[in-house]
Amino acid sequence: MKKFIALLSLALFTGCASIGVRDGSLALQITPQPVLRGRPALAEVNASLGAEKVIGTIQVFGSPQLEFRKDDHKGLWYFYGTIPFSPWVKPGNYRVRVMVYEPHQPPHYTEMKVELK
Q: What is the pLDDT of residues 15-56, one digit of tens each?
A: 444 578 999 999 999 999 999 999 999 999 999 999 999 999
Give the separation between CA 79 and CA 45, rounded to whole angstroms: 9
Q: Tell me, yes or no, whether 14 lies in a domain.
A: no
Q: Tell me, yes or no, whether 76 lies in a domain.
A: yes
Q: Tell me, yes or no, whether 37 lies in a domain.
A: yes
| Backbone torsion region of residue 38, taken as left when φ is above 0, otherwise alpha when ψ lies between -120 and 50, otherwise beta | left
Give the separation between CA 89 and CA 57, rounded to whole angstroms: 14
pTM (predicted TM-score): 0.80
CATH code of the domain containing 94? 2.60.40.1930
Q: Tell me, yes or no, whether 4 lies in a domain.
A: no
Q: Tell me, yes or no, whether 94 lies in a domain.
A: yes
Band (pLDDT 50/70/90 cuts) for residue 105 is very high
| Backbone torsion region of residue 65, taken as left when φ is above 0, otherwise alpha when ψ lies between -120 and 50, otherwise beta | beta
pLDDT of the residue at 12? 41
Band (pLDDT 50/70/90 cuts) for residue 95 is very high
Domain count, the chain: 1
Q: Tell me, yes or no, whether 15 lies in a domain.
A: no
Band (pLDDT 50/70/90 cuts) for residue 11 is very low
Segments forming the whole domain that contains residue 27:
21-116
